[in-house]
Amino acid sequence: MKLRRVVVTGLGALTPVGNNIQEYWNGLINGVSGAAPITHFDASKFKTQFACEVKNFNAEDFIDRKEVRRMDKYAQYALVASEEAIQDANFNMDQLDKDRVGVIWGSGIGGLETFQQEVIGYATGDGTPKFNPFFIPKMIADIAGGHISIKYGFRGPNFTTVSACASSTNALIDAFNYIRLGQADVIVAGGSEAAVTAAGMGGFNAMHALSTRNDDPKTASRPMDKDREGFVLGEGAGALVLEEYEHAIARGAKIYCEIGGGGMSADAHHITAPHPEGLGATNVMLNCLRDAGLQPTDVCGVNMHGTSTPLGDIAESKAILKVFGEHAYTMNLNSTKSMTGHLLGAAGAIEAIASILSIHHGMVPPTINHFTDDEEIDIKLNFTFNVAQKRDMKVVMSNTFGFGGHNACVLMKKLEL
């Protein structure tokens, strides 16, 4: 069968550097760090006392107060970002066949704050099981997609992908596949996470995964820098409206770009550490290129997973050199996690959005906080250090790698009529 083309017609973002698409893009281009001391809870006794939180957010500005109490923060973030994306897509809802519109969402953890609150409440009580009747619906990782579909009446494919930090990239790939295979005309895809909690920070601290640069949070996320020491936890959501090309053209939609392909792979190596030679990362990028029917030389840039971890950045850099060879030195590489921190299951969504906006605006966001070269990383590669760069970005890849060795990569390209 002939595969249908898939385009992006709507974007929405709620991030540590901006609470909508325009603010998010401005924050990225201007190299703004979203890291600051934690305000969600008292972190004074934690090894890491800072994170990239969403700022100045009041859920009741967007969602009815009664409904807010029935949602974990990760679902609230999902609804807000998806509303912006759906409005941006500018549908005539009366003419939209909602049986052909789906929601595929990604979250690595789901309602962690809800789970934490309910367990603490039981553990500190008298042993009587007094749980919130919304405990389970608030906590489960699939409920965000359910809320989105209920709000808009979208009755097409609806499920959640869970692959740790690759979750929302997997959601985008699944949405892309369902549309090009004819199973849907439109899918709202993306991801959300709200893990800046005592349990989230404590758990990642126990793994020694986080930066502990408490004296200077804004420079703590420093991908590819010699003195990187761990990632900075972030939170928020990103939403994209994926639409079949002819469907979008027929209604006169604004089109940001075309989805070219998606790739997936597994490291099959370790539960948290990447393969030291970047084997899984190499395979996922090759799989993505193969799916898109493109050559390595067609790619202008890669939004790297780039978490600012000692092992991860080296492995990904090695993989890029294996995949792209000499062409790697002509590309723009960047890590927007240097500004947003690591949004875990939502990372793929907001980073795909950053890649799409780089195509749309002809500008590559920087990798901030580079101070010292690492002799284990080829510094001749253009990591777009510290300052945004202008460039006609015709094809961009976005990488995400999750605990468990889950790898996902999505490729976006300028629309070719």
| Cα(347)–Cα(161) distance, integer angstroms | 13
Neighbours of 250 (CB within 10 A): 9
Element holding 75 (H helix, E strand): helix 73-89
Active site residues: 165, 305, 342
Q: Find all residues with CB under 8 Å of 21, minimum gap 6, and list them.
A: 11, 12, 13, 84, 88, 353, 357
Sign of the C-alpha dihedral, residues 135, 136, 137, 138?
positive
| Cα(355)–Cα(211) distance, integer angstroms | 26
Closest CA relative to residue 39, chosen from 27, 23, 54, 59: 54
Closest CA relative to residue 310, chosen from 383, 202, 209, 382: 209
18 - beta bridge partners?
A: 15
Tell me the Cα Rg of the chain. Answer: 20
Residue 97 exposure: Cα atoms within 13 Å on the Cβ side: 9
Which amino acid appears at position 248 of this protein? A
DSSP 269-332: S-SSSPPTT-HHHHHHHHHHHHHHT--GGG--EEE------HHHHHHHHHHHHHHHGGGGGGSE
Helices (H), 207-278: 245-250
| Cα(311)–Cα(328) distance, integer angstroms | 20
301 phi and psi, to 5 degrees?
A: -165, 165
Residue 309 exposure: Cα atoms within 13 Å on the Cβ side: 22
| Cα(285)–Cα(399) distance, integer angstroms | 8
